[in-house]
Amino acid sequence: MIAANNPSHDPDPDSFAQREHDWRNGAIVYQVLVDRFAPSARLDAKRHLYPPPKVLRDWSETPQAGAYLPDAKLNSQELDFWGGDLASVRSRLDYVQQLGADVLYLNPIHLAYTNHKYDALDFQAISPEFGDRDDFIRLAADVHARGMKLVLDGVFNHMGRNAPIFLDAIANPASAWRDWFAIGPAYDGGARVWTGYQNLPELHLENPAVRSYLYEHAASVVRSYLRDGADGWRLDTAFELGHTYLRDLTRAAHEEKPGSLIVGEIVNYPDAWLQSIDAVMSFTLRHIVLDAAQGAIPPATAARRIDMLIRDAGIEPMLKSWTVIDNHDIPRLATLFPAVSQRRMIQALQFTLPGAPNIYYGSELGMAGGADPENRGPMRWDLVRDDTPDLVWTKTLTGLRKQHRALRIGDFRLIDSDSLLAFERYTNRVLDTVLVLANPSGAAITERVMIRNAGLMDSTPMINLLGPPDAPPAGVLDAGIMAVTVPAETVLVLGPREQALGGYSRYKRVR
């Protein structure tokens, strides 16, 4: 295969054909907290599932910070529920599909005590507030009927302190589950817990029985949910699982369902991790984009770092990696960047850089929210209107990505620029090419940039793909050089327009 960033050779058409047939490449991912996404139609029938100290909130209420509960060893905000379930998620799949999503990603749905479900009591069971395994199977079938995929959240680093197997293990030295956890007097509370949270005892992955239960055995958690309709797993705190177990889990998932996705929550620099799993959540890329947007680093520095990241990680795993801007662990984009122009610029980069854009439910509507729990508010269905500006913009970006092959599966190459964050996405078809030029500064920038694409013909007009179709070209190529003006806090997304005059085209032999 020709090196992706080598401009002196034509890209290999077979590699792009293979990428197009892999749903994981460049997919648009929509993330949902089941409890907070859609009101349940059967709320009255399941109120008994929220006994005190759990609280069932009204959908109009906003999450508030709670107080630590010493006996429960958790915060009261973890016991505030809004009542969403798998059936209510199914009822809103039309919305997710019409938004342009290719993948529905659910935060944990396993049997657990808290609202967030990161404290599993039994991975094989669904939390009754959400439904049961049959509800999951029905949801997966409905997702697939729409041509979409379903990814689950695997929290395989730890369980919950109320898990029956942990309670037995901690109380009984002869317990069959004793070696499933790291237990002993060396640990506060008697067992090793995740980052000091006493409600989250860590699993002892060095025990073969634990690995068999999680992913090795035919009836394991990973394999059984894949058989029931899941198409992949997002692994919580994947960097703590280590390379050996990540490789083994990924292998097991691919054996069970070829083409399934294993994407890791990797907060580290990602390159070496992509030898163990299919993809990462691109937090390094997020930092680079946000740093550029707020002026913490020059745009050209941001471009150089993105190029370095993609070269280190490799374009193939980067296409599968999730481009995260906000989610359930970090403040929402509208809170971090109240200025609409900055938000638009960040989202445009999210949808044009290599990767799979991750839309956190409600962010497409401009939902605000600071740190947990504010960022986990109930979905604002009242904002779902045809004239909601953030929703219109998000649909514009999802439509752009679906219309332009290079944005989904294309290679990446820097555009030489002194003052812009500028890059090119390209495939084996020269007219697929998309140029992206971002100006995070507060003033318009006019610059002559160099486009290192030998297939783009002289005098080709470059059209703003986010502008009116009848607008004049934003630039015209002249021997690979283009003069362009990028307004303040704006991203120009440009594509070539073939000039066919009387049946004549400069692209007649170069496609």
Which class is domain 21-50+82-408?
Answer: alpha beta
Q: What's the whole-number mean pLDDT along residues 442-457?
A: 96
With bands split at pLDDT 50, 70 and 90, how would you rate the model's confidence at 13? confident
Identify the pLDDT of residue 503: 67
pLDDT (tens digit per residue) in 181-236: 999 999 999 999 999 999 999 999 999 999 999 999 999 999 999 999 999 999 99
Q: Which two tokens stand for residue 136?
A: 């999951």
Q: What's the whole-number mean pLDDT along residues 429-443?
A: 97
What percentage of residues in the chain have a pLDDT greater than 90?
A: 94
Q: How many CA atoms lie within 13 A of 353 on its CB side?
A: 32
One-letter-per-residue 3-state SS of 164-229: HHHHHHHHCCCCCCHHHECECCCCHHHECEHHHCCCCEEECCCCHHHHHHHHHCCCCHHHHHHHCC
Q: What's the whole-number mean pLDDT along residues 176-184?
A: 97
Query: CB under 8 Å to 110, separation ≥6 — which residues?
Result: 117, 120, 121, 122, 123, 124, 125, 126, 127, 155
What are residue 56's DSSP bridge partners? 81
CA distances from 18 to 12, 117, 372 (A): 10, 37, 40
Q: Where in the chain is the domain with CATH 3.20.20.80?
A: 21-50+82-408
Rounded CA-CA distance 127/132 in Å is: 7
Nearest to 303 by CA among 313, 292, 287: 292
Identify the pLDDT of residue 1: 33
Nearest to 167 by CA among 125, 113, 207: 113
Cβ-contact 139, 147 below 8 angstroms: no
Q: Which amino acid is at 269?
A: Y
Query: CB under 8 Å to 472, separation ≥6 — which residues?
Result: none
Check the CA dihedral 438-269-9-434 and report its sign: negative
- The overall pTM is greater than 0.75: yes
Looking only at the bridges linking them, the beta strands covering 434-439 and 421-426 are: antiparallel
Identify the pLDDT of residue 317: 98
Identify the pLDDT of residue 138: 98
pLDDT at 4 over 70: no
Q: Where in the chain is the domain with CATH 2.60.40.1180?
A: 411-505
Q: What's the whole-number mean pLDDT along residues 394-404?
A: 98
Rounded CA-CA distance 406/246 in Å is: 30
pLDDT at 2 over 70: no
Domain 411-505 belongs to what architecture? Answer: Sandwich (2.60)
For all residues of the chain together, what is the average pLDDT?
95
Q: What's the whole-number mean pLDDT along residues 290-314?
A: 97
Looking only at the bridges linking them, the beta strands covering 74-75 and 68-69 are: antiparallel
Least confident of 7-11, 58-62, 474-478, 479-483: 7-11
- Range list of H helices, 331-466: 333-336, 340-352, 389-403, 405-409
Query: CB under 8 Å to 492, separation ≥6 — which residues?
Result: 435, 436, 437, 438, 464, 466, 474, 484, 486
Identify the pLDDT of residue 499: 78
Check the CA dihedral 407-408-412-418 and report its sign: positive
Residue 354 CB neighbours (<10 A): 30
With bands split at pLDDT 50, 70 and 90, how would you rate the model's confidence at 10? low
Identify the pLDDT of residue 5: 44
Cβ-contact 452, 425 below 8 angstroms: no
Cβ-contact 478, 419 below 8 angstroms: no
Across 41-107, the runs of DSSP E, i.e. the strands, are: 55-56, 68-69, 74-75, 80-81, 103-106
What percentage of residues in the chain have a pLDDT greater than 70?
A: 97
